[in-house]
Amino acid sequence: MDCKRVKKLLPDFLELNLTEDLQQKVKTHIDSCEYCTKIYWNLKQSLDLLKPTAGIAEQAFYYERLKQKMENRLESKNSLLSVIFSKKLVQPVIYLSSIILAVYIGILIGSNNPSFTQYSEIEADENINPIETFAEYSYLNDYEIETIENLITESDDDN
């Protein structure tokens, strides 16, 4: 028997689907031919890997436990706390509050108006000029707001 024919018959040989006479001829050829022996063992190992292994032993109430876990997971997703703290709700609230806070801080920094407590003196005494009061609280670098004429006359008086 030649190697070409043995290659074709090897799958049937491994599954014992050949006649006894043909089975014996293939076995004799495999024993005598080194090339066919390698092919036989490679094919046998490949088929052995494909055979089913021992199955998982059945566990009592496995389906019930699995079903209960799935139901518990669905219930936890629908709870009130999970809805409140979900990313879909919390993230926009955080963004909105940070934007509002940033705008408020920007308005406070940008406004040059003194607070209302600084003008409380105006209500108590009607003789105080509001412009002078504003000037007292809005001066820069400890210099009060003065007219240019006063600065010029002071510098002229010093000379």
Tens-place pLDDT, residues 81-105: 666 666 777 888 889 999 999 999 8
Tens-place pLDDT, residues 39-52: 999 988 888 888 77
Query: Alpha-carbon distance 139 to 159, whole Å?
Result: 27
- Tell me the whole-structure pTM to 2 decimals: 0.35
The answer for residues whose C-beta is within 8 angstroms of residue 96's C-beta and 6 or more apart is none
